[in-house]
Amino acid sequence: MKYTLQIIFLIQFFFIACSPAVETPNLIFNGEAKSRVDSTLTALVEAGKVAGISALVYEKGEERYFQAFGYADREQQKPMDRQTMVQIYSMTKPITGTALMKLYEKGLFELDDPLEKYLPEFSNMKVYQGVDENGAIILTEADRPISIRDITRHTAGFPNRDNIPGLSEVMKEKDARNFNNTLASMAEKIGSTPLWFQPGTQWEYGLCVDVQAYLVEKISGMPYGEFLQKELLNPLGMDETMYFVPEEFRDRMAAVYERQADGTLARQNDSIAYRFSYNHWPLTPGGFGLSSTIDDYLTFTKMLLNEGRLGNQTILQPSTVELMRTNHLPDSITERSWLPHRGQVGFGIDFAVRVAPPQDAEENQGTVGEFFWDGALSTLFFIDPKNELIAILFVQLTPYDGIGLHKAFRDAVYGPWKPSVN
């Protein structure tokens, strides 16, 4: 009898082991999606459009995909892999927004509070009206103070272009983002520069999130870098996310590659590529500056997908995450710079937020309610709450996504575009 049971057990084990894996029904990232992503990223490397690239997809509580292709350092023949660190640039912004909203939860400010209530550097702002016949800037009074909501959704009015007659020259002279500035001196320089437009009337990407970092510093009474470490990075165990990259991590840093006019890639000089990351600077910007690994960034995004919680850590309350991923741009704000190129989106607190499905195959794929952002070296993440899905793409390519990389990746994850069904 004992041997009969053993034989039955072995037969059952054999059939279980040899049976094809059964996919969870209704997965977005199924076997076909895996094949699409593999072929898409392989083709980018083989065509020489990127030196190295990695992608991770997490859906319904499980990692569904990780692969790395090509080289983190082509010259040293160092493969892109799971331990590779990259400079995430503007993917720093949602981390800063999360830090700021921890103070919001403590009741230390309201979104519609005037910024000047906490940062007097932004009192009595003047607004640019053009230049006179002598090239002197014409100014008028601000219709209302800049609000904290304005700096979370990029409607403060801070100028951020090099072609505004008279005003761009002031910006250049102030040099607010000079790495030798502290957040306090940065804020003084921004606050003494005229606004480009009336607060709350346009969307213009720029210095808003750097000002958020200073606001965290002022309200908390703690240097921003220390606050970030204590309140967010340490609790989440994000030990490989940092402003200054010490020697022991540098052999894992991906090189930066610049796409040339003929389509080839040239490695950016390391002294330029790592200028911020390999030096201790006074500036701890909220809008850029962190380096990270794909697993550390997954940790951060899992916390957001899980409505502010991860394991036994509660970083934010569900209602706060919901507030962050809600569109805060009213229809009255029609001037939105290049934001419409991201698709049918609005803007929440340091994320773009999808408000309507893609209208055609040319638009970026995504699901209503998705929130996302990217970085200057072509990194990308998106969180799709409806499908409980996170996707992260790591690469170090400049200029920013001139090869349609993000659309190709989204198309590979979601599959061919289909008209939405109402």
pLDDT tens per residue, range 205-215: 999 999 999 99
- Strands 257-259, 397-398: pairing is parallel
Average pLDDT, the chain: 94
Q: Which amino acid is at 310?
A: L
Domains of the chain: 31-94+222-414 (3.40.710.10), 101-220 (no CATH)
- Distance of alpha carbon 209 from alpha carbon 349, whole angstroms: 10
Q: Is 262 exposed, middle or buried (0-12, 13-18, 19+ CB in 10 A)?
A: exposed
H-assigned helices in 62-182:
93-105, 148-153, 167-174
For 274, the token pair is: 């790592």
Torsions phi, psi for 304 (to 5 deg)? -70, -45
The better pLDDT of the pair 83, 17 is held by 83
350 in Cβ contact with 96 (< 8 Å): yes
Q: How far is CA 284 from the centre of its chain?
A: 16
The model's pTM is 0.93
What is residue 418's predicted lDDT score, i.e. its pLDDT?
A: 87
Q: Residue range 121-136: average pLDDT?
A: 96
Query: What does R_g of the chain's alpha carbons equal in angstroms?
Result: 23
What is residue 24's predicted lDDT score, i.e. its pLDDT?
A: 58
The reply to whether omega before 399 is within 30° of 0 (cis) is yes
- Distance of alpha carbon 150 from alpha carbon 180, whole angstroms: 26
Q: Is 114 exposed, middle or buried (0-12, 13-18, 19+ CB in 10 A)?
A: middle
What is residue 54's predicted lDDT score, i.e. its pLDDT?
A: 98
Decide if pLDDT at 21 tops 50: no
- Distance of alpha carbon 376 from alpha carbon 159, whole angstroms: 19
Could you read off the pLDDT of 232-265 as tens digits, one per residue?
999 999 999 999 999 999 999 999 999 999 999 9
Least confident of 20-24, 89-93, 177-181, 218-222: 20-24
- Distance of alpha carbon 242 from alpha carbon 355, whole angstroms: 32
Percentage, residues of the chain above pLDDT 90: 92
What is residue 4's predicted lDDT score, i.e. its pLDDT?
A: 46
